[in-house]
Amino acid sequence: MARERQLTPRTSPGTSSRLSRRSLLGGAAAGAVGLTAVTAGTAAAASSRTVDVAIVGGGIAGLTAARDLVAGGRTVAVLEARDRVGGRVVNLKLANGGFTEGGGEFIGPTQNRIKALADSLGVATFTTYNTGNNLLYKDGKRTPYDTSGLLGSVPPVDAAGLANAAIVQSELDSMAAQVPVDAPWTAAKAAEWDKQTFESWLNANAVIPSAKFLLDLACTSIFSAQPRELSLLYVLYYIAAAGDESHAGTLERLTDTAGGAQESRFVGGSQQVPIKLAATLGDRVVLSAPVRSVVKSGSAYVVTADGITVNATRVVVALPPPLAARITYDPLLPAARDQLTQRMPMGSIGKAIAVYDTPFWRADGLNGQAVSDSGVVRSTFDNSPPDGSYGALMGFIEADEMRAYDAASEADVKTAVLADYVNYFGDKAKSPSSFVLQRWDNEGFSRGGPVAFAPPGVLTGYGAALRAPAGGIHWAGTETSTFWTGFMDGAVRSGERVAKEVLAALG
């Protein structure tokens, strides 16, 4: 099973109207075991430290906060539950000696902060393979289509569906422009939008079945959740956040490949970014140290993790809200913060990567990007290395499809995935040289991905508690970002924001 094992750590608890194919059918997952920062420490029995700031979580958000706090002259300790850094960003080892990304991997235009961080660490990018035809697999029919024509990368569904989907996309962008990214619950129509699901809104607006298919698939690809689970206000906020201070967010930028969020990948894999960032922090990063409690003691805090206790003036919790809630806090967190964490679940997602001797689909004139209305994998990408020295097909398993296979054996998941790949790419896909699977729902320190989302009523009722400090406890993580929430860029932005917040509080 070495070539096909599920890679998971120990699972201790606690821690514009233009329509494009990827604008409706894209998505990025966010990122579970792999390389570690070789200079990071491991919690020793009954060890203790005293620092200015204890940081819970060694993902990109926590590490970025640590970098900026150290630059500001403060002492820190980063406590990471896993035996590696990166959080939902991880490189998975392959049997051929290579690797593939098991979590977050793509970046694109306006994702300025993750790009700046990678540049500072010497991690280069390369363009996601996007040459050749896309594939639509619908109603049991396989249809390759050229993306260089008048319709661009729009899948060849019926004309009425395309027209309806374009109108819906334009309306979503227009409504999103009315949502303040720093406080979506203050939008003029926040109450109206937050009391309905995205599904109910789509049912009233995506009235052509093929348009509904496109928008449903866009939803699961972006959020790894079904439209029925999401607040319309949250979806509009997420679209608004797909930009930066100078560029309004759009659905197209959120989900596109060329010119969008899936435009590029990192040389060496996305986990190179947190690995190299952790290396600059040295033994300030402590691995295999899941935090169990945060207790106020006088004017300071005692943060207790497995094998280590940290005494700190301030605490940064850089975890998704539902995982942050699994820590014991004394005194209790404000009720609004606790109620928020009770109501924000993680999406359900997995990534299945089949490895082949060559990227054979390229010779067939295909770019490895397929979308489907059936199967366990509904969207795929070419995850081969930059030199194409071997082939890797990556498929997202999301939302209902992932939940249906959470308890299945890896052999059963592999059988289902390869059946889909054969449907999309032919019989050559039947026999990969190796296969790796990452089921984030079953990963103990994530329990899903790519992001914790808001069902109806959450943002208007509890959204103000998302970033508000609780005494000396501050919150980071991609869910707290005002731009590119759910992405690596959002994680970096949240770390930078919380470091400024803490430095100001410490004076």
Burial class (CB within 10 angstroms; exposed 0-12, middle 13-18, buried 19+) of 258: middle
The closest of 271, 209, 366, 390 to 33, measured between CA atoms, is: 271
**Cα(162)–Cα(178) distance, integer angstroms:** 25
Helix (H, G, I), strand (E, B) or coil at 251: helix
Residues 6+ positions from 31 with CB-CB distance below 8 Å: 86, 87, 88, 89, 90, 101, 102, 103, 104, 105, 270, 271, 440, 449, 450
Q: How many residues does the chain have?
A: 507
Q: What are phi and psi of 328, to 5 degrees?
A: -85, 125
Report pLDDT for 405.
98
CA-based Rg of the chain, rounded to a whole angstrom? Answer: 22
The closest of 254, 251, 320 to 111, measured between CA atoms, is: 254
Q: What is the mean pLDDT of residues 460-487?
A: 98
**441 Rama sector, left if φ>0, alpha if ψ -120 to 50, beta otherwise:** alpha
Tell whether the model's pLDDT for residue 87 goes beyond 50: yes
The closest of 380, 384, 405 to 394, measured between CA atoms, is: 380
Which of 23-27, 62-66, 73-77 is the least confident region? 23-27
**SS3 track for 388-410:** CCCEEEEEEEECHHHHHHCCCCH
Report pLDDT for 245.
96
List the Cα angle 154/160/165 in 5-degree steps: 50
Which of 37-51, 204-218, 237-251 is the least confident region? 37-51
Report pLDDT for 164.
96
Tell whether the model's pLDDT for residue 204 goes beyond 50: yes
**414-446, pLDDT tens digit by residue?**
999 999 999 999 999 999 999 999 999 999 999
Q: Model pTM?
A: 0.92
